Amino acid sequence: MLRYLLSRSLHSLLLLAGVLVLVFLMVRLVGDPVALMLPKEASAEHRAAFKAGLGLDDPLVLQFWNYLAGVVQGDLGRSLRTQQDNWDMIMERLPATLELAFAALLFSWLVAVPLGILAGMYPFSLLARLAVWLGFAGQVVPSYWLAMLLILLFSVQLGWLPSFGRDSLVSLVLPTVALGFAIMGQLLRLTVAVVDEVRSSDYIRTARGKGLGEFGVAGRHLLPNVLIPLVAVSGVQFTYLLGGSIYIETVFAWPGLGSLLNTAIQDADFPLIQAITLFVTFFAIAVQLLTDVFYSLIDPRVQHG
């Protein structure tokens, strides 16, 4: 176990180092950052002062050293638009993004696991057809299109649910479904495939031969086998929920990191864009490391592999 943890930790550290370099070069590779952040009518003196203020007139190696020293100390710079500390702005918006991401992941599990197990146990039933349709729809329907469709139906036409804001748990319903629908489709297809493979195994037939009912077979034998791949996939998908929530948060005016990043892109707020990208990537790597550790605990064969 210790060897596996050290291996995964080293892999994560190398990935973090690559992310630091990539985020540093992200804006510098597409051209002059000053030209991206300042209007065309800005004077040469204004451009020079702006560049010096951000340290962009220093040699590239010195810029990277200062950038790395700031990240190690937790200094992610200040927003050009508001002059607020980027770390404070991220911490202020992070709870809303985590709330939406956890709700979307919970929604996908609550739909995919029970329906997938039942569909796998009864492959020719109506539930199986429903699972196939939902799994396919989750993979092909764009989340932002589904979000607008949900707003038109449940907010505009029926008036049941709010279409924007974060006022109560009711306002969480529509963005949760819109964001988690794609994850639900993938988890549903995976659950059906695993159950379909496992249900014809010898130990399943033995359990039925001993008189164990269908719900007992599902709870004691099918569910543990389903959880192993679902945990691995969910860790990856949770990072997608953090990064892919920018469209959903923008559509629903959800006050999270996604909407903050969208505003920073519109304002060409380079330091804030860099800070959010770096933070989300670091957070995703940490989540993936925890997922690998948990996965190794429920399936010890991974450690030896």
Read off the DSSP letter of residue 200: T
pLDDT band at 152 (very low <50, low <70, confident <90, very high): very high
Distance CA 267, CA 32 (A): 16
Is the model's pLDDT at 123 over the cut of 60? yes
- The tokens describing 124, both together, are 């020719």
Distance CA 271, CA 275 (A): 6
DSSP SS3 for 78 = strand
Give residue limits of the domains in the chain: 93-266
First to last CA, the chain: 11
Q: How many CA atoms, within 13 angstroms, populate the side-chain half-sphere of residue 256?
A: 28
Read off the DSSP letter of residue 151: I
Task: Write out the CATH class of domain 93-266.
Answer: mainly alpha
Q: Single out the residue of 150, 189, 145 nearest to residue 171, CA to CA.
A: 150
pLDDT digits (tens, 9 = 90+) for 49-102: 777 776 777 777 888 888 888 888 878 888 877 878 888 899 998 898 889 988
Q: Is the separation of the CB atoms in 78 and 84 below 8 Å? A: yes
Mean pLDDT computed over 209-225: 64
More confident residue, 245 or 278: 278
Task: DSSP for 113-149, please give it.
Answer: HHHHHHHHHSTTSHHHHHHHHHHHHHHHS-HHHHHHH
pLDDT digits (tens, 9 = 90+) for 10-62: 877 888 888 888 877 776 666 566 666 667 777 777 777 777 776 777 777 88
241: left (phi over 0), alpha (psi -120 to 50) or beta: alpha
